Structure 1
Amino acid sequence: MRHFSYSRPATLDDACRSMEHMRFLAGGTNLIDLMKSDVERPAHVVDIKSLPMREIVERSDGGLRLGALVTNADTAAHPLVVARHPLLASAILAGASPQIRNVATNGGNLNQRTRCHYFYDPAMACNKRSPGTGCAARGGRNRIMAVLGTSDACIATFPSDMCIALAALNATVNLHGPAGVRAVSVRDYHCLPDDTPWRDTVLQPGEIVTSIDLPPAPFGPHHTYLKIRDRLSFAFAIVSVAVGLHMEDGRIRRGGIALGGVGTKPWCVPEAEALLDDRPPSHSLFRDIAERLVHGAVADRDNAAKIRLAPRVIERALWQAASGTPQSQTDKTIM
């Protein structure tokens, strides 16, 4: 690990004073690993753990505000999250390990970087780590890589489980920076690689995530987070699906769907979600939605199986949500 300077500011404004090659430190579950691997080389580390962003509170509209420094474990176990947004709690419990969830924060989860093994190896070409060097994942060992939202410059998969649920719930990310405060839809927060794969999010220099707003979501039991992976715990998704459905009298009034494990960011297709509006569940409907969601997928050598697998996982997740039998994150049997 390289030498760096360190500060622990007492206020948000102090924390957001832009410095070149600065990184924020919260739980550290991603940043410290990257520094040890010599992937991240910050000249200055700003420890934000003492800032007042550790609460989950009810909003006046019935939604929730999640503080950026609340741990993933505390978020998943919070009574308001469990009661109103069990989809989010389920997705968090599907990710990482209990030890990591006890330390990792909501803001850090939003900003974690890809787990592409070429990105983590400084000896390999990676446009995300070293712009202009190329993408060793293309034509390489890329079974885990993305098939949606890729570019010639990058096919790295987005890693988070929590963010997939946030996308299905259409959450909002609140930011504070040198230019003031702003709010960004979580669906617009992460960037496609295009020709600038090193830019993961829309964060500006010095900006920090302060909280995440969840809108009122009348999904009740009609939700699921279905994650297919190589092993049953502490593994990243090959394909994952977050679904929430608002159902009345046996019909779907509206719904939210997001895919993980297949895209370079949380993958949502509003046109596919719109097909759910005021429709009864059916095999043909769910098949059409699955096809819309994976439309445009492009394989590269070893990851073609994701394109075949994803529609089946999407259809199964939609049926789980419609029938009110969400996937258990303790009993891994897929119903």
Structure 2
Amino acid sequence: MQNFSITSPSNLPAAAAAGQNSDTAFIAGGTDMMQLLKNNVITPSKLIDLEKLSLSEIKSENGVLRLGAMATMADVAAHPVVRQNWPAISRALLLSASPQVRNMGTMGGNLLQRTRCLYFRDTGFACNKRAPGSGCPAIPGDSRDLAILGTSPHCIATHPSDLPVALMALDAELELLTPEGTTRRMSLSKFYRLPGTTPHIESNLEAGQIITAVILADQAIGRLSTYLKVRDRTSFAFALVSAAVALDIEDGLIKNARVALGGVGTMPWRVHQVELALCGQKPSDRVFELATLRIGEGAQTTEMNAFKVKLAQRTVVRALQAISA
């Protein structure tokens, strides 16, 4: 681990101003950051600690849920309003990591979690995401756990988090603080970037900007939602495939549907074509199976991860069955 200094700004504007330096990084719960530092995957000379800033509120008011960026995964998962009105979010959090990590991990940090691609995490390998232009050994190498959607010839690393998959399905927005002291909103769907030729740029978060909250509008579809995760072991494992699904059923027909996937995309992956195929249909196993056939559209697979297409289809069917029974 490289030596670094750490500061704890007394307020958000000071933190944002300090974060404009390219050799600095923000640290929240630190559950992912410390691993990256120990492995020399990132080597900032200064860390800006956000722990003491007032960003941990969980508030539902006037039909809007506000999750402070420093609210812990455990607190959000257990909150009664989240469990009742957005069960997919609670379930995604409870299926993440371990109780110890959930007690420390934060909303903002979870959104910015880095890929678990072994070539990115091991500095003994080249990696375009870690060192632009150095190559992507994952493409001809061990790609079993990696992405099949949103990939490029430069990177097939999978986005690792569970929470953003549920947030993507439920049209979450992020509140951002700029170094100038102003706030702005950004849809989560606009936050993440596809790798393209610049896989080292993972989001549209600019230097010095801080995620201050996750914002969700209360909507009927959120209450009939769930998150299903398929992994190699039942605890502390990242998803081979996961699915966040939500349905709004009226008069026996699917009025609205939301489907997002994890474990298969270079970012949390919204599957609009499946949603369109579900709308207007009467919920049934056959309808679900036919709609999910569209999941493979645009997939770029390797010999090692081609199984994810069928697994994703079956995972979404199971999740839809669970909430429509």
| TM > 0.5 fold call | yes
User: Following the alignment from structure 1 to structure 2, what is the Cα–Cα distance between the partners of residues 221 and 78?
Assistant: 14
SS at match of 2:261: strand
- CA deviations 1:13-63 (Å, max 9, x no partner) are 100111122110110001111000000101110001111111011132x12
| Residue matched to 2:93 | 92
Q: Mapping of 1:167-182 within 5 angstroms?
A: 167-179=168-180, 180-182=182-184
User: Following the alignment from structure 1 to structure 2, what is the Cα–Cα distance between the partners of residues 51 and 104?
Assistant: 15
- CA deviations 1:99-148 (Å, max 9, x no partner) are 00000000000001001111000010100001010001111111101011
- AA matched with 2:219: A
User: Following the alignment from structure 1 to structure 2, what is the Cα–Cα distance between the partners of residues 9 and 195?
Assistant: 35
1:299 aligns with 2:295: no
Give the deviation of 1:292 after TM superposition.
2.2
User: Following the alignment from structure 1 to structure 2, what is the Cα–Cα distance between the partners of residues 259 and 220?
Assistant: 16
User: Following the alignment from structure 1 to structure 2, what is the Cα–Cα distance between the partners of residues 220 and 130?
Assistant: 40
User: Following the alignment from structure 2 to structure 1, what is the Cα–Cα distance between the partners of residues 223 and 46?
Assistant: 45
* Equivalences, count: 322
User: Do the aligned residues in 2 keep the contact of 1:158 with 1:264 (CA within 8 Å)?
Assistant: yes
SS at match of 1:224: strand
| Residue matched to 2:290 | 288
User: Following the alignment from structure 2 to structure 1, what is the Cα–Cα distance between the partners of residues 30 and 195?
Assistant: 24
* Gapped regions of structure 2 (runs ≥ 5): none
User: Following the alignment from structure 1 to structure 2, what is the Cα–Cα distance between the partners of residues 29 and 292?
Assistant: 36
TM-score by length of 1: 0.93
| Residue matched to 2:152 | 151
| Residue matched to 2:138 | 137
| Residue matched to 2:213 | 211
User: Do the aligned residues in 2 keep the contact of 1:91 with 1:165 (CA within 8 Å)?
Assistant: yes
- AA matched with 1:16: A
| Residue matched to 1:333 | none
SS at match of 1:209: strand
Out of 238, 241, 245, the position equivalent to 1:239 is 241
User: Do the aligned residues in 1 keep the contact of 2:240 with 2:264 (CA within 8 Å)?
Assistant: yes
| Residue matched to 2:39 | 37
| Residue matched to 1:12 | 12
SS at match of 1:119: helix
Give the deviation of 1:6 after TM superposition.
1.6
- AA matched with 1:7: T
User: Do the aligned residues in 1 keep the contact of 2:84 with 2:223 (CA within 8 Å)?
Assistant: no
- AA matched with 1:8: S
Distance 1:235 1:2, change over 3 A: same
Give the deviation of 1:311 after TM superposition.
1.1
Give the deviation of 1:220 after TM superposition.
6.5
Out of 59, 62, 87, the position equivalent to 2:61 is 59
Give the deviation of 1:287 after TM superposition.
2.7
SS at match of 2:270: coil
- CA deviations 1:221-251 (Å, max 9, x no partner) are 6322111100011100111110011112322
Give the deviation of 1:284 after TM superposition.
4.1
* Gapped regions of structure 1 (runs ≥ 5): 324-335
SS at match of 1:65: strand
User: Do the aligned residues in 2 keep the contact of 1:85 with 1:217 (CA within 8 Å)?
Assistant: no
User: Do the aligned residues in 2 keep the contact of 1:291 with 1:311 (CA within 8 Å)?
Assistant: yes
TM-score by length of 2: 0.96
| Residue matched to 1:331 | none
User: Following the alignment from structure 1 to structure 2, what is the Cα–Cα distance between the partners of residues 12 and 218?
Assistant: 34
Distance 1:220 1:308, change over 3 A: closer
- CA deviations 1:81-113 (Å, max 9, x no partner) are 112111100010011000000000000000010
Q: Percent identity at matched positions?
A: 45
